[in-house]
Amino acid sequence: MALLSILHYPDPRLKKVAKPVSVVDERVRTLVRDMAETMYDAPGVGLAATQVDVHEQIIVIDISEAHDDLRVFINPEIIEASAELKEAEEGCLSVPGIYDSVERPDRIRVKALNKFGEPFELEADGLLAVCIQHEMDHLRGRVFVDYLSQLKQSRIKGKMRKLERESA
Ligand SMILES: [Zn+2]
């Protein structure tokens, strides 16, 4: 097991589009374990492979209080989304300290492979639906900040650069 380092916005590598995983093998399962360990250590409720500079369609999520309900989605696809939208506050391990509201479909149905490469479908709403959509955005090179106004985006970039300088 290993802790992976998380890319910080506005790192251009966060804009890369992830490729589908062709074979779910031991290499992928090791990456999933390392991603989960990195997410729990941060701590966060979700992590996409893009955020650890691996551009493959893999996400891990655990929204439980006890951190004992790890969900793994490989090659996830949204197959249904409610017309009804809901606004929720989001944060991101790649944009530390920033939280803002994003509007997304309230309920989704997602199809993916599990860590054994077996297909499954899941219906999600509430926080889980928000997390899945947020993490899937990372796989196509989008960060939640991209949904905010230009003014907010430039303020956030400024804050992130200041943080980088302070930690350098
Ligand atoms: Zn994120």
Write down the domain spans for the chain: 12-167
Q: What is the pLDDT of residue 1?
A: 72
**Would you call 118 a catalytic residue per the annotation?**
no
Q: What is the pLDDT of residue 168?
A: 73
Q: What is the pLDDT of residue 31?
A: 98
Spans of the chain, pLDDT less than 70? none
| Distance between Cα 83 and ligand 1 center (Å) | 23
The active-site residue out of 56, 89, 135, 164 is: 135
CB 119 within 8 A of CB 113: yes
Residue 12 token pair: 């251009």
Q: What is the pLDDT of residue 22?
A: 97
Separation of alpha carbons 102 and 150, rounded Å: 14
Separation of alpha carbons 64 and 109, rounded Å: 20
The residue among 68, 69, 60, 63 whose CA lies nearest residue 33 is: 60
Of the CA atoms within 13 Å of residue 160, those in its CB half-sphere come to: 18
| Distance between Cα 47 and ligand 1 center (Å) | 6
Domain 12-167 -> CATH class: alpha beta
| Distance between Cα 116 and ligand 1 center (Å) | 24
Q: What is the pLDDT of residue 83?
A: 97
pLDDT digits (tens, 9 = 90+) for 18-32: 999 999 999 999 999
Q: What is the pLDDT of residue 159?
A: 94
| Distance between Cα 78 and ligand 1 center (Å) | 17
Q: Say if pTM beats, i.e. exceeds, 0.85.
A: yes
Q: What is the pLDDT of residue 167?
A: 81
